[in-house]
Structure 1
C-alpha cells in the first residue's frame, strides 16, 4: 500500500457534513488572511503534506495518519447514528465520539504552533538566563565547539521575542497528542452532553472545530481557557446538528462528600445527564460565534449558507502562546 502523503487535519468525512452532496462534495471556504471566498472540494480542504509523517517508522511513515483514520471511521459511524435520530448515545458509542473530539482538539496546526512557540519561549528564557558562559559549558557538555560570534548571535536572538524560532516536529506533536488525550478525555466525557437539531438555522465549522467557551465567572480575569476550565465546549457535528459539552458543575450542586462527587462524575461519563434540547436562534448564534472566534485560517460553510459569514471577520490567529513575562 502506498504511503499516504496528504493528511487532513480536519477529517474529510466530517467536512462532508457541511458540504454539497454528490460524487465530489464541495464546501464554502473563507480565508481569514485575505478574505477570499471560494468553494473547495472537501477532499482538498485542511490538507497538509506529510503533516503526521514519522520518518523511519518501521510500520511506515504514515502510521499515525492510519491510526487517525481508524478513529475517524468509528466516529463517522457514530455521527451518522446521531443524524439518524439516535440520542442519547450508548456508552460505547459515546466513548468513541469523546475520543474523536479529544484527538480533534489536539491534532491541528494550532497545537503544533503552540508547541513550537512554547519551545521558542523557553529556549529564549534559558539562553538569556545562562548567558555566554553557561551556553559555552552546555555546548561543551554536548561535545560541540561554538565560536563566540555564534554565541553572541544566539544571545541577541534570545533577547528578541521574534528572534529565536523553534519548530516542533511531527513526532514531537504526536507524542504530545498521545500524552495529553488521556488527560483531557475525562473533562470531555464527564460533561453533560446537550444535543441540538436545527431545522431553520444552520451551523458553520472551521479548521479548529472544537471550541472552548470561557466560564462567565472568570470573565474579568485575564487568563486563558482550557478543556479543564471551560464553561462549555461546542462541537458542530453537521450543518444541522450541534453538540454542547456543558458545564458539569450543576450536577455536583449540594454534594460535599468526595465519594459522592466521584460517583456523580462516573455517572456523567455514562451519559446519564445527556439530553436533547429544542434548538433556538440564540443557541445557533452561540455555536457560530464561537466557531468564528476559534478559526485560525479557514472558516467553512455549506455553499447555501454564505449569508452566515459576517463581513467583519477576525484576523488569522498565528500566536498561540504569550511569553510576555506576565502570568499565563
Structure 2
C-alpha cells in the first residue's frame, strides 16, 4: 500500500515572493496586528500571512497539490510584476488575463473568505430552522442531514442552530479551495476589463495587508450601499512598496450609454488591448488612496517595510475575518420555537419543502 506524500507544514495565503516587495534585503517585514492588545513586530516574510496546512487536501493523492498549483500561478504573476517594474506596461492581453486571475484569486483565498462563507451558511441554517419552528426540526433534519433523529438529537440540533450566530459550521480545506477557485474565475473578467493605471512612487511608499486587494466605493455611493467587483469605482492592489495598480471603472467613459450599445464592446476591446492603460507618478493623494483602502480592507494584519511606518494610516480598523454580514429583520431575532412562515412539516397537508442548503 502506497502512503501519501508528506506536505509542507506552513501554507501562505499571501505569497512570500509578493511580501518581499515590502521587506528589507534580509526579508524582514513589519507586522501591525489590528488587535490593539498585541504589539507590532518584525519577522521574516516566511512567517507572515500563513497557517499550518491551510491548503492541504487529504482527499488528494498528493495533499500539497493545490499549494504547488498556487506556486505556479504566483510565479507567473510575480514575473509580470517584475515586468511592470522594468517598464513592460501595458501588459499583453495574455498577461492581463493571467494577472487579473491572480488578483481575483488573491482576493478570495484567505481565511477571511473561508470564515465569511461559514458565517453566511450558519446564518442561513439558523433562519431556515428558526422560521420553521421547533416542531419541524425532525423534518428539516431528514431533508438536510439525511437521517432520522432521536428526540435528544432534535433538541441538540435545534439549540445549536438557533443560538446567536447559528450552528458551528466549518468548511473543509477542499470546500474552501473549490469555492475560492470558482469565485476567482467568476471575478476575473471584472478585473481584466477595467482600465489599469500603474502608479510609481518615489518619495512615498505603499503598505500592504493580509487582504491586499481593495475595493474603492463610488464617490456618490450612499453610506448603506455595498461595494463589489462589478460596482466599485476602482480596485487597488499595492504590488510593491513603490508600485501600485489601480483598476478603474471603464463605464465612466461612457456615462449614460446602455449595456447593449456597440460602444461598450468597442471600449472592452480597447481595454483588453491596453490602449487605455497608463503609467502615473505617485502623488501624496494617490499614496493616501492606496494606503487608506489597504488598511480598511485588512482583516487581522497590516504589513509594511520597516522604514515606512509614517505611511500607515492612524485609524486602523478592528480585526474582523467576516467581510460580508447579512442584514435584515430576521438575522438577529430570538426564535421561541413557534413557526414564523413555514407550515408544519409533519402535517400531511404540507406540500412544500424548505430549501436544501447542503446540496
Quote the Cα distance in structure 1 between the aligned partners of 2:65 and 2:296.
33
SS of equivalent residue, structure 1 residue 234? strand
SS of equivalent residue, structure 1 residue 43? helix
Which of 140, 157, 160 is matched with 1:157 structurally? 160
Name the counterpart of 1:286: 289
Whichever structure has more helix as a proportion of its residues is 1
1:21 aligns with 2:43: no
Name the counterpart of 1:12: 16
Quote the Cα distance in structure 2 between the aligned partners of 1:180 and 1:148.
39
Name the counterpart of 2:41: 38
Shift of 1:229: 1.1
Q: Which sections of structure 1, spanning at least 5 residues, go unmatched?
A: none
1:274 aligns with 2:271: no
Quote the Cα distance in structure 1 between the aligned partners of 2:40 and 2:66.
32
1:97 aligns with 2:99: yes
Quote the Cα distance in structure 1 between the aligned partners of 2:329 and 2:215.
23
Name the counterpart of 2:344: none
TM-score, structure 2 length as denominator? 0.84
RMSD: 2.0
Name the counterpart of 2:169: 166
Change (3 A) 1:42 1:271: same
Q: Which sections of structure 2, spanning at least 5 residues, go unmatched?
A: 332-359
Size of the alignment, in residue pairs? 324
Cα-to-partner distance string for 1:39-58 (whole Å, 9 max, x where unaligned): 01011101111111211213
Quote the Cα distance in structure 2 between the aligned partners of 1:36 and 1:92.
43
Cα-to-partner distance string for 1:256-302 (whole Å, 9 max, x where unaligned): 45233123223212222100122210000110001111111110000
Which of 117, 120, 123 is matched with 1:118 structurally? 120
Alignment of 1:1-328 (within 5 A): 2-22=6-26, 25-33=27-35, 34-58=37-61, 60-140=62-142, 144-218=147-221, 220-253=222-255, 255-256=257-258, 258-325=261-328
Tell me which moved more, 78-87 or 100-109: 78-87
Shift of 1:248: 1.1
Quote the Cα distance in structure 2 between the aligned partners of 1:197 and 1:143.
57
Quote the Cα distance in structure 1 between the aligned partners of 2:49 and 2:115.
15
Name the counterpart of 2:352: none
Quote the Cα distance in structure 2 between the aligned partners of 1:196 and 1:247.
16
